[in-house]
Amino acid sequence: MEKVNLDLKDLDLEKLAELDQYILTLDDPVERLINVLHRAQDIFGYLPPNLQLYIARKLNISAAKVNGVVSFYSYFTEEKTGKYVVSVCMGTACYVKGAEKVLKRVLKELCVEKNEVTKDGLFSVKDVRCVGACSLAPILTIGETVFGHMTEEKVPGVLNKFRGEINED
């Protein structure tokens, strides 16, 4: 049995209860560890170390196993992110077509550094490697939405679109 202390004080108990409910619906949660992690990230927005440890304890598996899966899949994040994650591709095709300027403009528009969350919690920005859409270079993604042939001039409009969606909520 692991001796690491589990500190729940930074975890929202209602969210933990929601995760517990989900785990209860699974016949074999250990076999479905990836599903559990997906659900946990959906609920919490990211997978901090204490949440990974909570999941490990809950499923009676090692924290190293949980962290191994989290580290292996780039989808999972251990850092807090904004509601919308803006990813700017810095792969070769995108880079030679001006991705760096796009990234700089995004950071300037949002007044953040890479991997920081905006003050309103809506956005965080990261650079990524080739996402396999080189014909649309340079590209930027926000969540599941892909924006191709990006220019720095298009950046404010793209961001405003997401701000607009939030205002319509």
Helices marked H in the chain: 13-24, 33-44, 49-59, 63-72, 92-96, 99-110, 155-168
> Least distance (Å) from ligand FES to the CB of residue 89?
3
Residue 34 binds to ligand FES (criterion: CB under 6 A): no
Q: Of these, 89, 103, 110, 150, which contacts ligand FES (CB under 6 A)?
A: 89
Residue 139, SS3 per DSSP: coil
Q: Of these, 125, 137, 142, 155, which contacts ligand FES (CB under 6 A)?
A: 137
> Least distance (Å) from ligand FES to the CB of residue 99?
7
For the record, the structure tokens of 68 come out as 């191994």
How far is the C-alpha of 141 from the C-alpha of 133, rounded, in Å?
Answer: 11
Number of helices (H) and strands (E), helices first, in the chain?
7, 4
Residue 93 binds to ligand FES (criterion: CB under 6 A): yes
> Least distance (Å) from ligand FES to the CB of residue 26?
35
Residue numbers at the binding site for ligand FES (CB under 6 A): 89, 91-94, 130-134, 137, 139
